[in-house]
Amino acid sequence: MKRFPQYSFDIDRLTCTNTHGDYFISQLICGENHINAVIDWTTACVHPAVWEIMRSYIYAAEECANGEINVKRLVKYFRSYLSYAKLNMYDIETAAKLFYYQIAVCDYYGQYYASSEDNRKIYLRQAMFSTKLLKWFEKNIDTLTNTLVCDLSNK
């Protein structure tokens, strides 16, 4: 945490909206060519929209499975969102940093390592995935943020 950048977020400037809370691919019921339903709304709340966009992409995109983000595909994912709803420039400038900060401060290891549940290995795999993401963000946060700003500023 000593190496972690000192980010400051102005929640009042972020587009906050109703969100699923932990939206990812296993909570979708799909039909032939479309999504029929989204399930498990137990963590629904008001969050910054960009947090949910980042999280849903990272947990759904196959290329993120090794803790790496395909920036061009993430931009495309954001564009898809923007065809339905608006984000302001502060949202776009803050998206990667907000998500990076969230995974940095979550205590995945503490809560999962101490678990005595049968699916403890799944929890530990999640913690390892988050660690890989943190390493990726540490090296690529500026490039990701600059790309999002440049590619989405006119959308």
Instruction: Give the CA count within 13 Å in the CB-facing half-sphere of 67.
Output: 17
Residues 6 or more apart whose CB falls under 8 angstroms from that of 37 comprise 28, 29
Per-residue pLDDT band for 24 (boundaries 50, 70, 90) equals low
Residue 112 has pLDDT above 80, yes or no: no
- Dist. CA 113–CA 111, nearest whole Å: 6
Residue 125: alpha-carbon gap to chain centroid: 17
Going 83 to 70 to 53 to 42, the CA torsion angle's sign is positive
With the C-alpha atoms ordered 67, 71, 76, 78, is the resulting torsion angle positive or negative?
positive
Q: What value does the mean pLDDT take over residues 105-129?
A: 72
- What integer pLDDT is reported at residue 107 of this predicted model? 66
pLDDT at 16: 93
Nearest to residue 1, comparing CAs of 143, 134, 155?
Answer: 134
Detail the DSSP E strand segments found in the chain: 16-19, 28-30, 35-38, 45-48
Assign 48 a pLDDT band (cuts: 50, 70, 90). Answer: very high
Report the mean per-residue pLDDT for the chain. Answer: 85
**Residue 108 above 60 pLDDT?**
no
Give the bridge partners for 19, in sequence order.
Answer: 45
